[in-house]
Amino acid sequence: MSDQKTRTELHELGEFKLIDVLTQDIKLTNSSTVKGVGDDAAVIDPLGKQVVVTTDYLLEGIHFDLIYHPLKHLGYKAIMVNLSDVYAMNARPTQVTTSIGVSKRFCVEDLQELYAGMLLACELHGVDLVGGDTTSSLTGLTLSVTAIGLANKDLITYRSGAKVNDLICVTGDLGSAYMGLQLLEREKKVFSGNPELQPKLEGYDYILERFLKPEARKQLIDLLEAAAIVPTSMIDISDGLSSEMLHICKSSGVGCRIYLENIPIDQVTHKMAAELNIDPLVAALNGGEDYELLFTVPIDKHDIIAAMDGAKIIGHITESSTGAMLVPPQGEEVALIAQGWNIL
């Protein structure tokens, strides 16, 4: 992992020294953080706001492959996927805690790389790392992150508030992280067949970065706030558009119509999909790991959203009796189908 660099074994430091080394660069920037690492628990003063809490779990071999996932990117991603959940509540992330399990395959410098990525993600979003638990693991690397955010009560956005005729909107583009993963998996197979071949990754930086180092969509929350729009519902896209849209429909007791031609797909995603003979719409609908925000707003906000940088209207909410439907440019509507993670 860091063959050419210094390698300090974990047992050379011991628990308390290791924690000192890993946490020495943590700076607290949030006024709501009263106490960070170094006690039984962190202390947060929410100053009259409500608190949102979310947890995500990343396990080696399931959620990431260190053959192509640099540790710094992995740390960054572990934080980002949690911040994404906080933004999906229309809240602002303020603190995170982390649980890290490591086997002796990893050295102190590896953990410092991981931490550097976590702290970079925190810094970009003004979030404090306030606690955690670092422990040994028999079998690899595991990361559990809990993110905490704050919001005024009347701004918090659930999955359950979508109303008939609301516009369905999404940030960024979809399917690119999935295509990035497919590319990495292809090159991994080629490499394991012939280790002397160099991976062919040129020109695909965008989809690789989307998978390896996703960004949480803080910008949308800023733009909505500036426009004084509170979405009627919102969710982040971790499992794919289909699955998330169905969550909103189920929670809100509504149906939807999504127009296939409106689903935003990047040109690099199209190019990779053609090369790998995958329908890019399948990647967008079921690929997952986009960490874009899917949200609904009242129809009278149409012009504001249409002019908003980085957001796109892809459909509208209907009565639940008409179901959750995909509308192709020509031909018959088809029903949306959910896909969760594949349990073993």
Site for its own copies in 237-276 (CB under 8 A): 251
Instruction: Count CB-CB contacts under 10 A for residue 48.
Output: 8
Separation CA 295–CA 283 (nearest Å): 20
| Interface of this chain with its own copies, residues 62 to 91, rule: CB under 8 A | 62-63, 85-86, 88-89, 91
Q: How far is the CB of 194 from its own copies (least distance, A)?
A: 27
| Interface of this chain with its own copies, residues 219 to 238, rule: CB under 8 A | 234-236
Residue 172 within binding range of its own copies, rule CB under 8 A? no
Residue 278 within binding range of its own copies, rule CB under 8 A? no
Residue 53 within binding range of its own copies, rule CB under 8 A? yes
Buried b (16+ CB within 10 A) or exposed e, 124-144: ebebbbbbbebeebeebbbbb
- In the bound state with its own copies, the residue whose beta carbon lies nearer, of 199 and 253, is 253
Vertex 123 angle, CA 284 and 201, to 5°: 40
**Number of residues counted as binding its own copies (CB under 8 A):** 76
Residue 158 within binding range of its own copies, rule CB under 8 A? yes
- In the bound state with its own copies, the residue whose beta carbon lies nearer, of 101 and 280, is 101
Stretch that binds its own copies, among 23-31, 117-125, 307-315, 335-343 (CB under 8 A): 335-343
DSSP per residue, 222-267: HHHHHTT---SEEEE-SS-HHHHHHHHHHHHT-EEEEEGGGS---H
Q: How far is the CB of 230 from its own copies (least distance, A)?
A: 15
* Residues 291, 216 contacting (CB under 8 angstroms): yes
Please, which residues have CB within 8 angstroms of residue 324's CB and are 6 or more apart in sequence?
A: 245, 246, 249, 255, 256, 335, 336
Nearest in space to 97 (alpha carbons), one of 133, 72, 64: 133
* Residues 170, 311 contacting (CB under 8 angstroms): yes
Residue 99 within binding range of its own copies, rule CB under 8 A? yes
Which residue among 5, 25, 29, 55 contacts its own copies (CB under 8 A)?
55
Stretch that binds its own copies, among 38-46, 65-73, 118-126, 222-230 (CB under 8 A): 38-46
Which residue among 26, 65, 124, 140 contacts its own copies (CB under 8 A)?
140
Q: Which two tokens stand for residue 141?
A: 């690397």
Beta bridge partners of residue 171, listed in sequence order? 311
Q: How far is the CB of 82 from its own copies (least distance, A)?
A: 9
- In the bound state with its own copies, the residue whose beta carbon lies nearer, of 268 and 324, is 324
Residue 131 within binding range of its own copies, rule CB under 8 A? yes
Separation CA 256–CA 294 (nearest Å): 13
Instruction: Count CB-CB contacts under 10 A for residue 292.
Output: 29
Q: How far is the CB of 248 from its own copies (least distance, A)?
A: 10
Q: Which two tokens stand for residue 172?
A: 């960024």
Q: How far is the CB of 336 from its own copies (least distance, A)?
A: 14
For residue 317, is it left (φ>0), alpha (ψ between -120 and 50) or beta? beta
Residue 42 within binding range of its own copies, rule CB under 8 A? yes
Residue 320 within binding range of its own copies, rule CB under 8 A? no
Q: How far is the CB of 196 from its own copies (least distance, A)?
A: 29
Residue 159 within binding range of its own copies, rule CB under 8 A? yes
Please, which residues have CB within 8 angstroms of residue 135's CB and are 6 or more apart in sequence?
A: 99, 100, 101, 102
Residue 14 within binding range of its own copies, rule CB under 8 A? yes
Which residue among 119, 121, 125, 149 contacts its own copies (CB under 8 A)?
149
Measured in whole angstroms, the distance separating CA 139 from the mean position of its chain's CA atoms is 25
Residue 307 within binding range of its own copies, rule CB under 8 A? no
Which residue among 48, 195, 329, 331 contacts its own copies (CB under 8 A)?
48
